[in-house]
Structures are given as C-alpha cells and as structure tokens.
Amino acid sequence: MTDCIFCKIIDREVPSYTVYEDDAVYAFLDITQTTKGHTLVIPKKHIADIFEYDEDLAQIVFSRIPKIARALEKNFPDMEGLNIVNNNKEIAYQTVFHSHIHLIPRYGADDDFSMTFKNNGELYSADDMAAIAESIRKNVSN
C-alpha cells in the first residue's frame, strides 16, 4: 500500500527505531512514547485490522508478543506491568489502518496512561448473557 506509513517504515522509506524484526513481523518504538518503551508490533504484510488476519498470520504475529514483552521487562527493571492494546476501526480509536499491537510498559499509577471500562453488567440478565454468548458462538468458524 503506497500511502501507508507503516508500510513505508517496513520499506525503510520512513525511519523508525527497530526493536525486533523477522521475515513476517516488525516491531518498533511508537513515536508518541506514551510511556518509555512503548512499542508497536506489526505484520509486514499490509492488513488493515484484526478482521483481515488469517489463522497463520495471527499465529505468527501474536506469537512474537511474549518475546518482545519479555525484552521490555528485562530492559526496564522499573516496569511494573504491560498493557497490550489493539484498536480496530476508527470507532475503536484506530488511527493508522495497518494492523498494529501496542505494547505499553507501565511504571506505576502516575505514569500518564490509563484505560477505563464502564461496568454495564447490570444492564444484562443471565438470560441476556447466555443469548449473547450463544449468538457469538454460532458465528465462530473453525
């Protein structure tokens, strides 16, 4: 894809700070550095989001996450945890439409990163939850 910034990074048309690379995966520092070491992991093959992965590519890309996460943990002894974030489509805050996984090291409650989830559990009865689970289960393909 000619106008994709991540494809340009992979092709070395745009500079980046490489963290990891193999034949299928490229990982580099996010220029925003939400926290120190904030890394993006991307497939070298251009795909827009999680909905375009096939099982083989998903296995390849997602199997690299623990290796890179352990490298972050080893490199930053003051790291207390790690958020793994993957936004898909604009409504879910995806801004670059080349699939990417954020690895965001956490250094404490005051490290300037937060994620909050509203608890809407009271809106759904046990029957509602069972019906939702069943409808999703029917659409999971093997």
Q: What is the pTM of this model?
A: 0.92
| pLDDT tens digits, 94-136 | 999 999 999 999 999 889 888 888 899 999 999 999 999 999 9
CATH number of the domain bearing residue 32:
3.30.428.10
Tell me the backbone φ, ψ of residue 78, rounded to 5 degrees.
-85, 0
Cα R_g (the chain), whole angstroms: 17
Look up the domain containing 90 and give its range: 5-138
Which residue of the set 38, 46, 98, 100 is catalytic? Answer: 100
* 100 flagged as catalytic: yes
Nearest one of 38, 35, 36 to 27, comparing CA atoms: 38
Number of domains within the chain: 1
